[in-house]
Amino acid sequence: MKEIYLNKTDPNFKFEVANKLGGESLKACFACGACTGACPVKGVNGEFDPRKIIRMILLGLKEEVLSSNLIWYCLLCNTCSFVCPQDVKFSEVMGVLREMAVNDGHVSPSLLNTMKDVDKFFLDLRQKALFKLLEGKDKPIEVDIKEFVKSLL
């Protein structure tokens, strides 16, 4: 378990996030964990936990949140918002955190655009894979994923 030192927290952090466009829904979170249970990233990376990130913001752990690689793992897929009983828009909160991380010098400004390019590349790749698989949809489909991806590039 990790200790939290109150003198190292920033009580204004949650207000800074909530006052930015997209960040306001954060205040409604009551920590039910439905987002974490539904998140596809949590399924492959146990460290990533949207509920925990929201608690960290509310606790004022500004430096820890903004300097963490975790805020870049989110796919912005909105699955968490669909299951959230409080209508928290976590992917919008994530957008606010990323902008703040850039503005506070935790990452290079070019990372935002590069990540957008990476996401677009993989979306295009998924689309190509889907078209190819659907060509043979009436037959059993077994592919070596690595070779299949190579054939699409």
Closer residue to ligand SF4 in complex, CB, 39/60 = 39
Q: Does 100 engage in binding with ligand SF4 (CB under 6 A)?
A: no
| Nearest residue (CB) to ligand SF4, 78 versus 151 | 78
Q: How far is the CB of 52 from ligand SF4 (least distance, A)?
A: 9
With CA atoms as reference, report the closest residue to 98 among 65, 122, 120: 65
Angle at 72 between CA 89 and CA 3, to 5 degrees: 85
Helix, strand, coil shares of the chain, percent, nearest 5, are 65, 0, 35
Among 14, 17, 23, 29, binds ligand SF4 (CB under 6 A): 29
User: Could you say which of 77, 133, 141, 149 contacts ligand SF4 (CB under 6 A)?
Assistant: 77
Map residues 32-61 to x or -, x wherever contact with ligand SF4 holds by CB under 6 A.
xxxx--xxxx--------xx--x-------
- Interface pick for ligand SF4 out of 4, 75, 130, 141 (rule CB under 6 A): 75
CA dist 119 and 114 (Å) reads: 9
- Beta-sheet strands, E only, within the chain: none
Tokens found for residue 115: 């990540």
- From 12, 19, 78, 113, residue interacting with ligand SF4 (rule: CB under 6 A): 78
Cβ neighbours of residue 78 closer than 8 Å, sequence gap 6 or more = 91
Site residues, ligand SF4 (CB under 6 A): 29-35, 38-41, 50-51, 54, 74-80, 84-86, 88, 90-91
